[in-house]
Structure 1
Amino acid sequence: MFETECGGPGDEAGDEAAHRAAQLPDDHGLLDATARRLEALPGGIELARELFALDVADVSDQALIEVIAGFERVASAAVARQNHALSELLARRGSSSRAFDAVVDELRARLSITGRAAETKVGLAAACESYPEVADALAVGPIDVRRATVLTERQPGVSETEHRELTRDLLDGDAEERTAPQLKADVRRHALTVSPEAGALRREAEYAARHVEVEPLADAMARVTAYLRADDARTVKSCLDRLADAARTDTDTRTVDQRRADVFVGLFSGAHEAGTDAGRTAASGGAGRSARAQVHVTIGADTLLGLDDEPAEMDGYGPIPADLARRIAQDATWRGLFTDANGEFVALGTKAYRPGVVLSRTVRARDVRCTFPGCRQPAVFCDLDHLDAYDATDADARVQTTEVNLHPLCRRHHNLKTRGIWTVRREDPGRTWIAPTAHRYTRRPDPPLGTRRRKGAPRGRTGGGPEPRADADDTGPAR
């Protein structure tokens, strides 16, 4: 009865879906017919009928993954329809801020949610009304709620026209394959590019507002919050990581977070016991500065020379404005990394298993982060893995440790590959990861900093002549 009412795999809707699945390209290398049919359907009623009619105990692992992905698209489509209803309610209440607040209050009461959660829902509905292309993408499922929220949040200094054009470009590109943090980095990078003057004024004001707060909490605890410039914050985090690692003993039962907290307190306890002179020395950037942790920044050579204002990249943070990168450059050691005419790094290699310093730095600067799809772990904290496993018996005959055969993987995803749970292979461009269900996911590289991507060109393919890049090791915050 349920299958008759909702439409099972054997009815006309199922036949139509099967026909569409046969006509559309397969993005994930699916062999199972049910998986292919589900992958081909956009979010909506037809997909919901298919999913609710299936018995998950009777489908393959491939199909089960597509059932989960399909429900995600259905959920996005449901939010899109909810947004449409909210927009209608907003229109009926009026366009004032009071009308917005009234709808928020109605929603929080009916759904028994917090005011902030209600504001988020109503705000997204209003934003999707202004950006119909985002609403359409949410309705059919290429993007979810988090990505829709990122795409509709306009950065300060960016006009509505500029942001609308960026949104269209991202949706026409690979927004479906990028996580919400990756899309947010794209939007931030665009804001730094289109309005560097306005951005500089904002950053100057925000830097002037730097501060540290102590918030009392329950159970004799408190939270220390520091509002700092990005490079200063990365310096603090890197220093705590190194000191926490050094503080570990064989019998230590503390977690890494607990060790960081203990080291954090120990630093200030020691400075307090040493007296105010030590504090003044540290604050002025004097003695002891060279022992501080490093901050890695990658920047195009033209930007470093002031010929353009393309954003740079700070490991563990993301895009930073050109003027900040140049300020960091005044107090940093820089090393050149050169690309060929296609924006690819000049090949380097060694017959040894472990890459040298130059090769390691080149690979990490090229890939920026762990190459597993969606992973944001900075490459500087990753292992360097051989795509094709290193063969020690053939070490003297051929070069296996090369820029082409190396990529950064965080320890978690390195273990997935080493254990054979996931496999990875090179593609042009990028790398394709193959899941245990045989789903394929392609991680395309971002264009190297300092190169120009032609409009409409696929991500990772760049044009123009050879352009050098630079990579900085900053031993402390620049002033």
Structure 2
Amino acid sequence: MTSTGIIDARDALREVMAVLAEIPAAGDEVEAVDRISLLESIKAACAAGQAADTLRLQELRSAAEAERGVPIERRCRGLSAEVALARRVSGNAGGRHLGFARAMGEMPNTFARLREGSLSEWRATILVRETGYLQVEDRRVIDHALCADAATLDGVGDRALEALAKQLAYQRDPQAVVDRNASAPKDRRVSMRPKPDAMVQLSALLPMKAGIAAYAALKQHADALVGDGDRSHTQIMADTLVERLTGKARAEDLPVAVDVVVSADVLLADSSAAAEVPGYGPIPADTARDLITDALDADALVTLRRLFAAPDSGALVAMESKARIFPSGLRRFITRRDISCRFPYCDAPIVEIDHAHPHHDGGATDALNGLGECRTHNRQKESFGWQVTTAIDDDGTHDALIRTPTGHEHRSRAPARDTDEAA
């Protein structure tokens, strides 16, 4: 209760969580299905509540910054990072959630269906994505056509919903659709994500004709070879992709540098603790030794660089420099220590090494004050009201305390390294 006797909304939400946690198991199959459906509706209503509070946060922040004289084009910078931390997601996801909330202010029927639980957050996101490039009045016409009546989308699958939104968008503004398709190729890219079992997923976002042509070429080659040997159709396609991209018959023949952070005990086979490949993640000790052995057997250049770690936690120890710019050795050290962006819930690769306490305010250029960050979070934490302090814990682990403009605190510890030896 507040001093005025009104129930704090936060207390009410905590009570809802407590009630949900104490509900006993369903008595029969019918009740189980009904409850699954109701819980899905509750999730949607919660998403609507988050969107409403995100819009309110933006309104309050914008008003406060206007009062401080912040130019309109600079207002609410860093807000998506705050939303991301509050929702325990990456910075990119925080930006999407902020954009989603803003869209709900322009799509009242979609927002209403989300509030009542008849439209999921993901399906609402599809509508936001497929109308985001239109004028507001056109967006609202589509919003009314698809969501004014909750029954309109009953039984409609996600792909069909996307197709409906695209069709209506083209009817409202054909030129906007043409312009969108024409500008899309600028977003073409290749990316890599770590996968289990020492595998990676290499992905390419390509213009439609180029992507179809590339896949068709791989498939046609595999069709001609399937049955010739013990490789499957999909394995042949994967091998052919590597061969055609690199000009080598085997991926093992490529002159690629792979950094492996490994303890001396693991290197000498006296421990089974995990090693680390920066940009990929932990790998088994045997895999790390195999990588090094294969490189030596192939007469590849193998260099050894010593990094010293605290004995208890395995945390890498400090280095420092008097320069403002982090020199290459110190940058490499911080990158190995932090592995990925140090903002909580952000798995993005490290792009920039930044001073936690700003250099212009006396912050040192050393490992204690240095943080590995993605470009987005490095920019956003420079906004008004953000503060980052660093320390070394008793076990030698680097610790960062991130304080947002609202005073909320989020702690980030450098990833621990496995120092246990084999039994």
Shared fold per TM-score greater than 0.5: no
TM-score normalised per structure 2 = 0.43
More contact order relative to length (CA 8 Å, sep ≥ 6): 1
TM-score normalised per structure 1 = 0.39
